[in-house]
Chain A
Amino acid sequence: MRRPGRTRFHIVLLLPAFVFYTAFWMAPAFIALLSSFTQWNGISFDSIRWVGLDNYRELFQDRWFWNALYNNVVFVAVVLSAIIVLGMVYALILNSKPRGHSIFSTIFFVPIVLSSVVIGLLSTQMLSPTVGLVGPALAELGLPGLEQHQWLGDRDTALPMVMIVYVWQQLGFAILLLLAGLRTIPNEYVEAARIDGASPWNITRYITLPLMRPVLTVVIVLVTTNAFLLFDLVIVMTSGGPFHASEVLSVFMYSEAFLKGNPGYGTAIAMMLFVIILCVSVIQLLLSGRMRKDA
């Protein structure tokens, strides 16, 4: 039976959060959606002009949009694979509690608490052919041709360098989550399998990984979403260059909205980014749900 007093109490409890999210999330998101159908100079409301779907039509014909989307997809695919594989390997090693495991856990986690701007600036300096350490180190290793290479100024190596730095930065967080997941697996399952003569690989394949699926889903969704929204590291390390070679969607959006003074077009890009992330997340959640059912 419904109790009106209790419902009112629930409404009162929910109201602050509802007001907050409506004012600071829903309303701006709705205004951004409306803005994507306009063209204006950002200075005067009088200059706002309704252009319907023109921004979206232009976007689909813009080769730099497809270039940024391609870069983003490649970036997400590479960093996701690297973070999941490396994260799982390191988490399994740390879970076996080797000597000094707590020190290694701390070392892996340090980059995640550093600012992306700081990491980007340090990496940029290290990779510089004029003042960096990477070139001389490679020369010492017998790769002298790479001493003067412009790692961030070459269209073939700029994005891969950002990927490496991003994986280094984000890996610790994935390890932490995966390690927490591994520690929830009852030890009896592993012991029983060992007694039955299962090899370490079979224990990982048939016990650990299936039981880790919920945690893995969380890590995959988080890494994918964050990687799609990547902005700061690219801006600091390459500014999307050289000539769009490392430009991802959020950098493309920033460039159009702020550097080229076209906020309407910029919000259209933001809307596309939102739709893409929503679709990818829904697909991932559906797939993981189906896999759980199959299991």
Chain B
Amino acid sequence: MTKRWTFRALAFSGAVSIASASSALAEPVTLNLWSELSAPPESTVLNKAVEMFNAANPDIVVKHTSFENTAYETALRTAFAGGTPPDIAEVNAGSNAFQYAQSGQLMDLTDFVKPTEEKLRPGLETMYQYDGKSYGVLWGLKVGNVLYYNPVMLKEQGIDPASLATWEGWMEASKKFLAAGIAPIAFGDRDQWTGNHYFNHILHGLLTKEEYDRIGLQTLDPSIKSDIKWSDAKPVRAWELYKAVADAGYFTSGYLSDDNDTAAGLFFAGRAPFYSTGSWGVGMAKANGAQNVALTLFPPVSDSPEPTAIVTNSLLFTIPTTTKDADAAKKFLEFLTSEAVQKLYVEENFDLSPYTYDSSSWTMDPLLRQIAELLNKAQNASPFLDMIEDVKCMQENVNEANVAVLTGDLSPQEAGEIHQECVEDLRAQRGW
């Protein structure tokens, strides 16, 4: 009797063990995904993508936690410092991602992203490659160097929009508006980043991609050296051209005290004919109900070495080294780059794709399609300078300096010299 009961008990416990083991095998892996995409339409698109992925992959559950934009960086840094980052993390491409990569917090994805790179637009790899290794996949693409104009106002002054193809043509058009009593360029530099973008686009038009990328990356990557110094003729010329716009009176009168939203409001209300911002301006135009809006590439100088090149920004999806399942996380990253997800992103987000899928059948706003065409024609692309330069040198010598150049506290030459000094001090401090 006892033997029989012992045998039964053993058989029962064995069955329970097998059942629990098999249920453990069937248990899907849960991956925590963190992002700063907390507001629609971006959050809606990512949530939809997560739902699509979870439905197609029953063995993996991606759980998306979104944070408010400003709180996100602090939350992510704290999690990384505490050794508890998510399994998949969205970070700003460029310097932000490079900091985590430099600290050994991100997984090297060089081999994994190789097939993805075949469908990537030229030049974008600068945003996720650090020290020869790749650290993530790009999600969406914003074009920075766009000039919006009011075609009705141009017509009233007899200005041909084709003349905006060069910096010189744009300045000539601005001169006509000023003569007619209209301050032509809606601009507000109170928060400094708008002036940063102007300087960025002017400089970008003066340099080749290699020169532009190197002058920034020399503060982030020890292996990169720049042949051009900030105090050399080309960067100083960029400052001079920027200052000349203010000196000529082409900026709207609150250019040092207004913020970007105020400047955008002036343009969308038809009080100024020009306004420069990125591709996100298409969404702003729709939100403002603006009717008379057309666009072109931010005009490069007539002797620009790469006049069709674009300045871009993108978000990067990375895998922290502590992820609980690297293969599952890679599967999700691959899914984000798929045509279905990219189409969803572009159609619902007033944004573009970093990948070369044929988007001719996709539903797109006509203005956004125009930017997509500029993108297709671009011979090259580079990130915004603030994505590829050390934050200290960038903050002091572009964000703060662009205001100082406008107020006259720094001359263009001085702005170039202090920037170069910062770069040399930084490289020396780091022993590069």
Of B33-41, B54-62, B395-403, the one touching chain A: B395-403
Cα A136 to Cα B391 in complex, Å, equals 40
- A242 touches B (CB below 8 Å): yes
Q: How many A-B residue pairs have CB under 8 A?
A: 100
Of B100-108, B111-119, B127-135, B305-313, the one touching chain A: B100-108
Q: Determine the residue in chain A with the shortest Cβ distance to B265.
A: A131
- B284 touches A (CB below 8 Å): no
Contacts A43-B81, A44-B104; A243 near B254 (Cβ below 8 A): no
Contact residue among B266, B392, B400 (Cβ-Cβ distance under 8 Å from A261): B392
Within the complex, the shortest CB–CB distance from B369 to chain A, in Å, comes to 32
- A259 touches B (CB below 8 Å): yes
Q: Is there contact, CB below 8 Å, between B253 and A152?
A: no
Of B13-21, B24-32, B233-241, B255-263, the one touching chain A: B255-263
Of A122-130, A174-182, A276-284, the one touching chain B: A122-130
Contacts A128-B254, A130-B262, A131-B265; A41 near B99 (Cβ below 8 A): yes
Contact residue among A44, A151, A242, A244 (Cβ-Cβ distance under 8 Å from B80): A44
Within the complex, the shortest CB–CB distance from A61 to chain B, in Å, comes to 14
Cα A166 to Cα B127 in complex, Å, equals 43
Q: Could you say which residues of chain A place their CB within 8 Å of the CB of B258?
A: 128-131, 153
Contact residue among A43, A129, A259 (Cβ-Cβ distance under 8 Å from B257): A129
Q: Could you say which residues of chain B place their CB within 8 Å of the CB of A127?
A: 257
Q: Could you say which residues of chain A place their CB within 8 Å of the CB of B403?
A: 241-243
Q: Could you say which residues of chain B place their CB within 8 Å of the CB of A259?
A: 391, 395, 399
- A225 touches B (CB below 8 Å): no
Per-residue A-contact encoding for B250-291, CB less than 8 Å = 1, 0 else: 001111111100100110000100000000000000000000
Interface size on B, residues (CB 8 A): 35
Per-residue A-contact encoding for B69-82, CB less than 8 Å = 1, 0 else: 00000000100110
- B191 touches A (CB below 8 Å): yes
Q: Is there contact, CB below 8 Å, between A150 and B77?
A: no
- A239 touches B (CB below 8 Å): yes
- B192 touches A (CB below 8 Å): yes
Q: Could you say which residues of chain B place their CB within 8 Å of the CB of A150?
A: 253-257
Cα A95 to Cα B39 in complex, Å, equals 51
Q: Is there contact, CB below 8 Å, between A130 and B256?
A: no
Q: Could you say which residues of chain A place their CB within 8 Å of the CB of B81?
A: 42-45
Q: Determine the residue in chain B with the shortest Cβ distance to A121.
A: B259
Q: Is there contact, CB below 8 Å, between B190 and A241?
A: yes
- B165 touches A (CB below 8 Å): no
Q: Is there contact, CB below 8 Å, between A130 and B266?
A: yes
Within the complex, the shortest CB–CB distance from A47 to chain B, in Å, comes to 6
- B157 touches A (CB below 8 Å): no
Q: Is there contact, CB below 8 Å, between B257 and A151?
A: yes
Q: Is there contact, CB below 8 Å, between B103 and A47?
A: yes
- A213 touches B (CB below 8 Å): no
Q: Is there contact, CB below 8 Å, between A153 and B391?
A: no
Q: Determine the residue in chain A with the shortest Cβ distance to B269.
A: A131
Q: Is there contact, CB below 8 Å, between B257 and A128?
A: yes
Q: Is there contact, CB below 8 Å, between A148 and B253?
A: yes
Q: Is there contact, CB below 8 Å, between A130 and B190?
A: no
Within the complex, the shortest CB–CB distance from A81 to chain B, in Å, comes to 26
Cα A43 to Cα B91 in complex, Å, equals 13
Q: Is there contact, CB below 8 Å, between B395 and A154?
A: no
Within the complex, the shortest CB–CB distance from B82 to chain A, in Å, comes to 9
- A2 touches B (CB below 8 Å): no
Q: Determine the residue in chain A with the shortest Cβ distance to B190.
A: A239
Which residues from 240 to 259 on chain A have a C-beta closer than 8 Å to any C-beta of chain B? Answer: 241-244, 255, 259
Q: Is there contact, CB below 8 Å, between A262 and B266?
A: no
Q: Is there contact, CB below 8 Å, between A242 and B256?
A: yes
Q: Could you say which residues of chain B place their CB within 8 Å of the CB of A169?
A: none
Q: Is there contact, CB below 8 Å, between A153 and B400?
A: no
Q: Is there contact, CB below 8 Å, between B396 and A260?
A: yes
Q: Determine the residue in chain B with the shortest Cβ distance to A153.
A: B256
Cα A255 to Cα B396 in complex, Å, equals 10
Cα A136 to Cα B252 in complex, Å, equals 16
Within the complex, the shortest CB–CB distance from B376 to chain A, in Å, comes to 36
Q: Is there contact, CB below 8 Å, between B254 and A241?
A: no
Q: Could you say which residues of chain A place their CB within 8 Å of the CB of B168?
A: none
Q: Could you say which residues of chain B place their CB within 8 Å of the CB of A47?
A: 103
- B152 touches A (CB below 8 Å): no
Within the complex, the shortest CB–CB distance from A130 to chain B, in Å, comes to 4
Interchain Cβ contacts under 8 Å between A and B, 8 examples: A41-B103, A43-B100, A44-B80, A128-B262, A153-B256, A153-B257, A242-B403, A260-B396
Nearest 4 A-B pairs (CB), nearest first?
A153-B256, A153-B257, A152-B257, A44-B103
Binding site for A on B (CB under 8 A): 77, 80-81, 99-100, 103-105, 190-192, 252-259, 262, 265-266, 271, 391-392, 395-396, 399-400, 403-404, 406-407, 409-410
Could you list 20 further interchain pairs (A-B, Cβ under 8 angstroms) beyond the known A44-B105, A150-B257, A244-B400?
A: A43-B99, A43-B103, A44-B103, A128-B257, A128-B262, A129-B257, A130-B252, A130-B254, A130-B258, A131-B254, A131-B262, A131-B266, A150-B254, A150-B256, A239-B190, A242-B257, A242-B404, A242-B406, A259-B395, A262-B392
